[in-house]
Structure 1
Amino acid sequence: MNKNDLAILMIIRSWLVAVCLIFSGFVQANEFSRCVTDMSGRQVCLKTSHPNIISLSPGSTELLFAAGAGGQVIAVDEHSDYPSAVEQLPSIGGFPVINVEAIVGMKPDLVVVWVGGDSPKVMGQLESLGVNTFHLNAVDFSGIEQAILSLGKISGTEKQAEQSVSAFRARLSSLAKTFSQLEPVTVFYEIWRSPLMTVGNGILINDVISLCGGNNVYGDQDQKIPKIGIESLIIRNPQAIIGSAPQGDTPETRREMKRFWGQWENLQAVKTGQLFSVPSDLISRTSPRILDGAEILCRQLQDVRSRQAAALNNLNSSH
């Protein structure tokens, strides 16, 4: 091999090395992987920067949109109704009847499920079929923040998620400064009537009551949704009774509250007419809109304080 042939060979070799390096860089640039730990402590990994997502609960749907990932949601459960954009999305059924076959057929990159809310059977079926699931389990205000941030990370919308959490924290702080240190109002929160059920410790509604300067009369119960007897409630004798209704605190719901609770006229809340309702979606869903429900409840407890102060003034002036 002469010098010219050797030179040509070296040029070809250098060219091949350059091509290999370029191709290797191209492959590496296109090998995307994002891994995020969900709220069950599972590491969930995606191979796409813009995942197609299905949500199986209203709370999950609201949190996805709060995280800035609403544009990536391709289907929701039939109970998801907020924000209005979800009305245009396909439905995959609703708890407890979820259409697993339809979900698999849509080939989502991710299905967001709510631990303790969505059916464990459905979650198991999806995971056994190789569907990527992301577990949420927000039970308090900090859990809402964590859920939004983690959904932002897995969806690639971290900036929007951080902005949403910042706004949530500011609003929560404002409510706490305004209401949490006011004169306590004892509260019974009605979850169900037959049997009579309320909220105990470890559930977000209890935290909302505390945020508003209320004192949940069953907040000492470790059971999240305890069944109670009316005799027990009469002993605890709350200053306000609050329930929930789809339409919230309307004249109709107040009449219904008065009709039912009027059976126990000796209850302080019944005597003074301190019977209220909060819109169901705003108080039961663990999403940023819980603060909309909190604002309503806080104003209701402030109404109780104002009425009590007026009654006391009238009593003092009569003497």
Structure 2
Amino acid sequence: MKKLTVGKMFRVLTALLLSSLLSIDAFAARFVVLAPDLTENMFAIGAGESVVGRVESADFPSEVTSIPVVGDFQSINAELILSLKPDYVLAWQGGNPERHLQYLEGLGLNVVRLSSQSILDLPEQLRLLGELSGQIEVANKRAVEFETELQGLSEGRKGRNLPIFYQIWHSPLMTINSSSWITEAITYCGGLNQFADRAEAVPQLTVESIIAANPKLIIAGSGADQSWVEFWKPWGMIDAVANNQLKIVEADYLHRLTMRTLLGMEQLCQTIDSAAEVYH
């Protein structure tokens, strides 16, 4: 039996290594993602190249614009999704219409539903995406970063309970109840969502109900135009209006549960801090 020289052994080992890498690439999981925050989270853990389909509203990071659009929250192109041959279809549990997800499952697709009800769902979501995509180490690192920074934001703020009206729309007036992670973010920052106990996830309100609640701070998302401030000016009997506490926060940071939620919470906390100083 012939002995392998060091040179030949090196070439054999190199060939085996390359074969192994090619095999891994050949079986890399493919993902169609039906929510913009889930798409962003895939990129955050280094699995962006595995995303082969997205919804129209997915727009961050900029690289996603080159990924085929398979629909939006209201409709999906099942034929296109099938043609992309995904190993997994990632969906927002409670956000994507269940009938769409069941239809895709009926076509033999593997639909994974991910929860986005609580801020603390994000670290677990990142870890699960890491397991599915093979980016376990990066996903765990991002999850720990999020948990650590979140804890830092709440220190010295929780329990202050500054009364807040969070306005997500102006006509009709709409807000969020306790089922939204935005309410949770407000609590972390020392605020109190005055409509958290409403039964509807997105309550419609009247001006009279806002006057009765008398919030110290009114916050709107960055999608609101300047007319929202003009709308409130006649209602000077509300503390927030009387004290010029009508503020805007970046909607994409808070309205999507991603690593950028920390940036939104930092902005939210600073806004609530500033308002609290006005009343003390």
Give the TM-score normalised by structure 1: 0.75
- Map Cα deviations across residues 180-221 of structure 1 (whole Å, 9 max, x no partner): 35x432100112223322111121010010111111111233
- d(CA) in 2 for partners of 1:219, 1:128: 37
Unmatched runs of 5 consecutive residues or more in structure 2: 1-19, 21-25
Asked whether the equivalents of residues 184 and 215 of structure 1 are also in contact (C-alpha less than 8 Å), the reply is yes
| Correspondence for 1:226 | 203
Q: What percent identity do the matched residue pairs reach?
A: 32
**Are positions 1:245 and 2:216 aligned together?**
no
1:13-24 alignment runs, 5 A limit: none
- d(CA) in 2 for partners of 1:278, 1:229: 22
- d(CA) in 2 for partners of 1:201, 1:221: 8
| Correspondence for 1:92 | 70
- d(CA) in 1 for partners of 2:266, 2:165: 17
1:64-79 alignment runs, 5 A limit: 64-79=42-57
Task: Specify the code of the residue in structure 2 equivalent to 1:133.
Answer: V
State the 1:147 CA deviation. 1.0
- d(CA) in 1 for partners of 2:230, 2:221: 15
1:113-192 alignment runs, 5 A limit: 113-181=91-159, 183-192=160-169
Give the SS at the match of 1:123.
helix
State the 1:74 CA deviation. 1.4
- d(CA) in 2 for partners of 1:272, 1:176: 25
- d(CA) in 2 for partners of 1:180, 1:87: 39
Of 34, 53, 62 in structure 2, the residue corresponding to residue 56 of structure 1 is 34
- Map Cα deviations across residues 142-169 of structure 1 (whole Å, 9 max, x no partner): 2111111111111111111100101001
Task: Specify the code of the residue in structure 1 equivalent to 2:79.
Answer: E
State the 1:222 CA deviation. 4.1
Task: Specify the code of the residue in structure 2 equivalent to 1:122.
Answer: H
Give the TM-score normalised by structure 2: 0.85
State the 1:230 CA deviation. 2.1
| Correspondence for 1:312 | none
- d(CA) in 1 for partners of 2:133, 2:155: 33
Task: Kindly tell me the number of residue pairs found equivalent between the two proteins.
Answer: 256
Give the SS at the match of 1:302.
helix
- Map Cα deviations across residues 44-85 of structure 1 (whole Å, 9 max, x no partner): xxxx85201111110111222233321211121111011122
- d(CA) in 1 for partners of 2:200, 2:122: 21
Of 272, 295, 308 in structure 1, the residue corresponding to residue 279 of structure 2 is 308
Asked whether the equivalents of residues 257 and 276 of structure 1 are also in contact (C-alpha less than 8 Å), the reply is no
* Bigger Rg, which one: 1
| Correspondence for 1:111 | 89
Of 239, 242, 251 in structure 2, the residue corresponding to residue 280 of structure 1 is 251
**Are positions 1:198 and 2:179 aligned together?**
no
- d(CA) in 1 for partners of 2:111, 2:229: 45
In structure 2, the CA distance between the partners of 1:193 and 1:257, relative to structure 1 (3 Å rule), is closer
- Map Cα deviations across residues 256-285 of structure 1 (whole Å, 9 max, x no partner): 232111132211111111001112211111
In structure 2, the CA distance between the partners of 1:78 and 1:111, relative to structure 1 (3 Å rule), is same
- d(CA) in 2 for partners of 1:120, 1:305: 42
Query: Aligned-pair RMSD on alpha carbons?
Result: 1.9
